[in-house]
A = this chain, B = another copy of it.
Amino acid sequence: MEEVTIQFYVEGKTESPTKMVAKVREFTIVVDEPPELGGTNEGPNPVEYLLVALAGCLAITGYVVAKEKGIDISSIKVKAAGILDPRKFQGLDGERAGYKEIKVEILPEGNFTESELSEWIKEVEKRCPVSDNLKNPTPVEIKIKTKDQ
């Protein structure tokens, strides 16, 4: 089968030093920082949205794989925690700016065997787009423009 590519697109504009309002198709998504990180707390912050993306991706991929393999999964709960050292973000010496590690717990409900589950999770990890973008290097090209065209 030939390669087909899909493009996804998001556009955001700051409304304060910690708040960005993003347009994703017809949806409006608010990004902000909590008060303890200097924000006005009108929405989750960027690294929390990163965990939302990962949790949602694992859940949706989980359904796709379960359906394909005929595994009876009726619902999926996902807990995702990320640990971060804020020093590099703050301009101090630090190992890396982003999460040092992300820990995920997946709690499927349904009627399945242990061997079905272990086959399922292997496939889910391999096929989940957000897992792939986190676990493996992803090219991010950044350009600055001073006039919107």
Residues of A within 8 A of B (CB): 1, 3-14, 17-18, 20, 22, 24-25, 27, 29, 31, 33-34, 43-65, 67-68, 75-94, 96-108, 117-118, 121, 123, 125-148
Contacts and interface: CB of A to CB of B under 8 A. Distances in A.
A26 to B, nearest CB: 8
Given A49-B52, A146-B107, A20 B138 contact: no
Given A5-B85, A83-B6, A138-B98, A12 B78 contact: yes
Nearest to A121: B144
A11 B84 contact: no
A49 B8 CA distance: 10
A140 B75 CA distance: 22
A25 B29 contact: no
A12 B76 CA distance: 8
The 10 closest A-B pairs by CB, nearest first: A31-B56, A98-B132, A98-B133, A46-B57, A49-B53, A17-B63, A10-B51, A46-B56, A97-B132, A98-B129
Contact of A76 (B13, B51, B57): B13
